[in-house]
Chains A and B, each alone.
Chain A
Amino acid sequence: MKNKYSIFSLIKNAFSYHENWQRAWRDPEPKKEYDAIIVGGGGHGLATAFYLAKKHNMTNIAVVEKGWIGGGNTGRNTTIIRSNYLWDASAGLYDHALKIWEKLSQELNYNVMFSQRGVMNLAHNLQDVRDLKRRTHANRLNGIDAVWLNTEEVKKFCPIINTSQDIRYPVLGGTLQRRAGTARHDAVAWGYARGADAMGVDIIQNCEVKGIKRNGNSVEGIETTKGFIKTKKIGVVAAGHSSVIANMVDLKLPLESKPLQALVSEPVKPIIDTVVMSNAVHAYVSQSDKGELVIGAGTDPYVSYTQRGSHDVVEGTLKAILELYPIFSRMKMLRQWGGIVDICPDASPIISKTNIKGLYFNCGWGTGGFKATPGSGDLFAHTIANDEPHKLNADFNINRFVSGDLVDEHGAAAVAH
């Protein structure tokens, strides 16, 4: 049983100079066989393991991670959480996640700092206005709390935005989802890891998958840098590296992996108390609890696994930031980095079985996977445990690329987030 975290445990431990804290998770060697193996120890993978154990009683499972947990896109993204998506299928998926977020710190006994400071999406031309209003109407009817704000209301909600109508692309209004916000990315990975570990899940770091062993059309196990591990079910949650795993079994996925860059400024006292995104003036910004402005935009437009992008993208992003927030001109970029995001043609994810028995993929989250972490884990766990999708992820199958029944969220997902 894990020690519970609370203010009391902190005070208690202070008297022993914090020398008696337990490990947040073990560091086990892999067993010979598991009932299921999750490939990829990011937020989605750890959440999948957590819900497999918690809701489906599958505790003889492992998460294998080639680096350190949470070190991929989980630890590199800009932590925006929202559910104001256009189509019913997406709204269902992302709002399912949002509802879990609202209770996640308590569920995990780990403060993931989910902060519902609202997310605003700005419109800068008449088509933006139409698209955002359409989305707002759809959201309202789907029970998602998005509202339309006119320019004055935008200004009132976030006073530092330049809403002058004389700028190149003036703000014509925007949508606001108040339940949306941000969370602490590392805490999500660590909280799920700690929770999963407590239920017996083996989290195996520095263990890279080198191959997938098959018997006929069923999986038998994985070859790793720590040896062969037998299993009948493999859930791949490898984000930018999904295709690398898929190529091991000659499976082609509708994915392209591209660099997505983000940056933070030096920390300053609170100056922006919400998350603001803009498609046409392409950038988004929020402020972390530490005081850093957290800024990002779109991907670099080519495939790369380097976790680095080109300076042009950063320059373009900051150009957009200064257009909307000219007061930030003297702020300084402290740190800039990149992740590799796997993008589907319809900007929606894949949470699906494959035509290989026992092999499941959860990928294609593109630029916006973080927000879905708990929901994605929950639904993927359901899919793996039951060998069939939950109704909330049924539309996110691989076969949609054959039938043409895409879930086109380019409008809702156009800015990386």
Chain B
Amino acid sequence: MSKNLRITNSKFIDQTSRISFKFDGKTLYGFKGDTLASALLANDIHLVGRSFKYHRPRGIMTCGSEEPNAIVQLGNDPSMTEPNTRATEIELYEGLEATSQNCWPSVNFDIGAINNFFSPFIPAAFYYKTFMWPASFWEKYEYFIRKSAGLGKSPTKPDRDIYDHRYLHCDVLIIGGGISGIIAAKTAAQNNLNTVLLEDKNNLGGTTIFQNNECFKINNSYSNEWLSKEIVSLNSLKNLTIKTRTTLAAYHSYNYLLARENLTDHLSLNEKKDKIRQRLWKIRAKKVIIATGAMERPLIFNNNDRPGIILSSSIKKYIDYYGVKCGQKISLFTNNDTAYETAISLSKSGVNVNSVIDIRDKSNSSIVKEAEKLGIKIHWKHTVVNTNGYKKIKSIELMKLSDDGTNVVGNKLNEECDCLGISGGWTPRVHLFTQSGGKLKFRDKDNVFLPTKSKSEQISIGSCNGDFELDDVIKNSNNLIKEFLNINSSDYENLEINCSREIDKKNIWLLPSDKPLGKTKPFLDFQNDSTAKDVKLALREGFKSIEHVKRYTTTGMGTDQGKLSNMHALGIIAETAEVKMGELGTTTFRPPYTPLTFGTIVGRNVGKFFDITRKTPIHDWHVEKKAEFENVGQWKRAWYYPKENETMHQAVQRESKAARDSAGILDASTLGKIDIQGTDSSEFLNRVYTNDWSKLEIGKCRYGLMLNEDGMVYDDGVTTRLGENHYLMTTTTGGAANVLSKMEDYLQTEWPELDVYFTSVTDHYGTVSICGPNSKKILSKVIPDLDLSDENFPHMSFKNAMIGKIRCRVMRISFTGEQSYEINVQSGYAKSLWEKCFDAGKEFNITPYGTETMHLLRAEKGFIIAGQDTDGTITPVDLQMDWIISKKKYDFVGKRSLYRTDTIREDRKQLVGLLTDDPNEVLEEGAQIVEDANKKPVEMLGHVTSSYFSPNLNKSIALAVVKSGKKLNGKKMIVPMKNKTIGVTITETVFLDKKNKRLNA
């Protein structure tokens, strides 16, 4: 039966609002203001989870983000469940359900705990040394390894929550709302600086806000009372924004920071609904003040991992802040003064403190004297050599330390306890400082790594900067802030501060035991079950560097990223390898500071907002006509328009036939359109296209091919000369943006002397393309005033025209080989133009066709699609398009590359046509072409780039690139498929209307 360990002295817990929650299926109660951890402890529940490797019982060890053990699965809705959440950070809410992780069938009885029995055989990195026989069995071993690894469970259904991003710019960003952060915030805001203060907890004040010990006073008030007043005074500051429940996640260069604000995680299940769960703040700060405080260190001794072993400062927080007793017979084990604050708090709250075990010989500080005054027993120069109790600590064994601290002497004492507080000193939270690129220095007297002066606009203040005494924190922070912000004076000069100062220091990274090290289990990384023995094993095997040891032993690689374990790992390495700590360096602290939800990082860019969708102005018409769409880059293009019960093949055959027999209509709005103006426009085109543009008459159109500087085909399209110094270039749909930026690049960087201007007009115009033998008749109905005679308006020419009051540009150009007109109007008119053309074409059975039919029709004519028939390795010569390479021009982009030893080879892959022996057999695009299927190794001569069944030729046709293809016309080849081989013959690339009669038919 669980006990109630709640006392009634906490002002941070609202004991009038009871909250019910479930842990491992059992209904329990806590109060508003509790964390899951404090509520569990109040219910006398210590056993919360099982460790990663040995499945040892583990309990709550801390009260914050460094918690390695008490991590739980939150919620059980398959959409909303969250693995690996820290009980110490979850604010209790009505309806919370949490379960233990990494145990089966239950945390109380876990089959996996058998691993603990095998632990002698599975030291660090054992898996590299075994599971190699038989060779084929690794994956079978691995199956079981994977099953037993992992901690919580991933959700299995999509998240229903929404996440958000916001940008924030400020003069001063302060990270951490403890005493030094509050001093910084007030000082900055009072000096007209736009200031933002972030605090990851639900309220400000850090550890000082519950410091009620009379050894710590400011201006004759208890330090908690003094700070409460300071916090109240922040409310009146206009320049100050305070964000609580907001954790700084990453500190990038140029003072770019990411912070996660928790908006609903603390709300009841009902209140959470339809609200933004978390928001990612993207912050640019002119100046950053890091005030992230320090973490208490554990001590490393035999069996230091049992439930009920808790950091001493956390025990203090549980009693003073949450009003929860972590036990009723508490022992404390320390190497510094911190534990005495805890002892005093416990004692004053009526909790029985068995004793304080202190590895030091003595301590003369006022706080220790205060403890002694209260009658607290102290074992000086003693260490804990073992702990007992399986699912919760029951007793400890202690012995006297030898003078040099490497051994224990004398008799073993036994002390019964239900909780052991441990304190190994303090570690400044320098993670953000190092993330920002800062280098650390080591301070020997208390074994801490501290920030050096940063190169960017930032400072660290308070205990994250190595000030652990109250008067140092206030005085040094105040001075640093003033200097950093160029301020002469603040509210924090000449305060009267009383505090206990720690005078006596002693540190032993790995505490000795009466047993040989090999028989003990001194845990370093509690979550990953790595021990001091493992670190020593790694060193013995030659893993010297701290990164090697970390990787070999997995120390510091758990969900807490080694917040608790790193310092001791370094200490033990330094000691064993006989290197100085400062010279050893540290592992890199990588972002994020605490794990960051994917959803938060992505924000609203999910689902339909994953990427923008570009739609043509005629899009709605295609939707109405039930077109299927194809994604081309960000564009949605109508792919084909199936009539009832039609397959794609049937639809495409029908569309293709109609376009050739009478008339087809295509939405060509997605083609890239670049408006080119300036006196050097023609010269510019000459330089970027392979062919000659100097003689193109006004009103005429020309096809152009663009190469990369390496000579390979890059893009193509028709460009029209609208005026003396005015062209309209079209590009492929996918290539538009790249072509424009490439042209800007050449213009601005290589040829700035040219007078040319480019404007992207892709979205400004809608383009309707009508093709087929009846296209002229239809167009004459739409634009009766336009003389469409071949004399006045021949193929490859352009006219301005009016449809009513609407100006339009009409190009007579063709990608299908049919007589064809492209009409460009301002986007807003495109749909009505389309409908007008469609109505006018009805009597000719005008048929809307999509991209698939367009591809088929152009393939019949042997026109290439850049990016489909070319792949970045094809030159215009390879395409058999030598005619498009101007002989007159000295240079154009890519020309020189066409004359390299490899590009002039005759046996390059060249574009050819293919006909299948069986005219009904349609080749698969991408299929390979060989001459001799039996030759080994198979010599692949090329591949099929485009392939269709042509309804107009009533046979299968294909384009391909084939080695020496130019010379192979008529040659038989084989396309070897998985289950069969297909015979083909190489042909010319033009299958239909070789004389181009249809263009003027």
A residues in contact (CB < 8 Å) with B: 5-7, 9-11, 14, 16-19, 21-27, 67-68, 70-71, 75, 88, 103, 105-106, 109-111, 113-117, 124-127, 129-138, 140-143, 160, 162, 167-169, 184, 186-187, 190-191, 205, 265-271, 281, 287, 289-291, 308, 310-311, 314-315, 318-323, 326-337, 345, 400, 402-406, 408, 410-411
Contacts and interface: CB of A to CB of B under 8 A. Distances in A.
Interface in B302-332: none
A315 B630 contact: no
A75 B903 CA distance: 39
Most A C-beta atoms less than 10 A away, residue of B601, B613, B711: B601
Given A133-B925, A311-B250, A125 B632 contact: yes
Interface string B604-636: 011110110100000000000000001110000
B45 to A, nearest CB: 23
A71 B129 CA distance: 21
Given A68-B547, A332-B596, A270 B925 contact: no
10 contacts: A10-B123, A14-B123, A125-B630, A137-B926, A137-B928, A311-B258, A314-B601, A331-B155, A404-B900, A411-B871
A79 B133 CA distance: 22
Given A17-B519, A131-B926, 4 more contacts: A113-B142, A138-B928, A168-B611, A289-B142
B976 A141 contact: yes
A106 B133 CA distance: 8
A278 B601 CA distance: 20
Contact of B930 (A111, A141, A403): A141
A125 B867 CA distance: 13
A157 B486 CA distance: 62
Contact of B138 (A24, A111, A333, A336): A111
B419 to A, nearest CB: 28
Contacts of B925: 129-130, 133-134
B902 A403 contact: yes
**Chain B interface, >50% SS class:** loop
A103 B135 contact: yes
A88 B928 CA distance: 12
Given A17-B517, A137-B927, A319-B605, A403 B596 contact: no
A10 B595 contact: no
B121 interface: yes
Nearest to A323: B610
Contact of A333 (B516, B598, B710): B598
A126 B635 CA distance: 13
A6 B937 CA distance: 40
Given A125-B632, A266-B595, A68 B545 contact: yes
A181 B872 CA distance: 29
Contacts of A333: 592, 595-598, 601
Contact of B597 (A127, A137, A315, A332): A332
A266 B84 contact: yes
Contacts of A162: 158
B598 A332 contact: yes
A187 B554 CA distance: 13
Given A18-B518, A111-B129, A331 B597 contact: yes
B868 A403 contact: no
B152 interface: yes
B928 A141 contact: yes
Given A115-B139, A268-B151, A329 B598 contact: yes
A9 B978 contact: no
Contacts of A110: 128-129, 132
Contacts of B976: 141
Interface stretch (B75-83, B736-744, B775-783): B75-83
B121 A329 contact: no
B660 to A, nearest CB: 23
A14 B130 CA distance: 14
B153 interface: yes
Contact of A126 (B159, B591, B630): B630
B601 A318 contact: yes
B599 A114 contact: no
B590 A335 contact: yes
A337 B590 contact: yes
A111 B128 contact: yes
Contacts of B916: none
Contacts of B631: 124-125, 168-169
B256 A18 contact: no
Interface residues of B, number: 111
Contacts of A26: 542
Interface of B: 52, 80-84, 120-123, 126-133, 135, 138-139, 142, 145-147, 149-159, 161, 163, 250, 252-253, 256, 258, 282, 516-519, 533, 537, 540-545, 547-548, 551-552, 554, 559, 561, 588, 590-592, 595-599, 601-603, 605-608, 610-611, 613, 630-632, 710-711, 867-868, 871-873, 897, 900-903, 924-928, 930, 937-938, 940, 943, 945, 976-978
Given A22-B541, A140-B978, A269 B150 contact: yes
Contacts of B153: 268-269, 271
A355 B784 CA distance: 71
Contacts of A21: 537, 540-541
Contacts of B588: 337
Given A21-B540, A26-B542, A335-B561, A138 B940 contact: yes
A318 to B, nearest CB: 5
Contacts of A404: 710-711, 897, 900-903
Given A23-B542, A269-B154, A111 B127 contact: yes
A124 B611 CA distance: 13
Most A C-beta atoms less than 10 A away, residue of B154, B591, B597: B154
A113 B128 CA distance: 8
Contact of A271 (B154, B517, B938): B154
A271 B938 CA distance: 39
Contact of A290 (B83, B150, B592, B630): B150
Nearest to B145: A289
Closest 8 A/B residue pairs (Cβ): A17-B518, A291-B150, A134-B926, A329-B159, A332-B595, A133-B926, A326-B158, A5-B129
A400 to B, nearest CB: 8
A183 B543 CA distance: 20
A22 B156 CA distance: 45
A332 B84 contact: yes
Contacts of B518: 16-19
B123 A18 contact: yes
A155 to B, nearest CB: 15
B540 A23 contact: yes
Contact of B559 (A7, A266, A321, A326): A266
B939 to A, nearest CB: 9
A321 B130 CA distance: 34
B545 A205 contact: yes
A124 B634 CA distance: 12
A10 B129 contact: yes
Contacts of B161: 329-330
Contacts of A9: 129
A266 B151 contact: yes
A320 B606 CA distance: 9
Contact of A24 (B132, B139, B541, B592): B541
B522 to A, nearest CB: 13
B154 A289 contact: no
Contacts of A109: 132
Contact of A289 (B149, B596, B613, B928): B149
Nearest to A4: B129
A131 B128 CA distance: 39
A27 B541 CA distance: 11
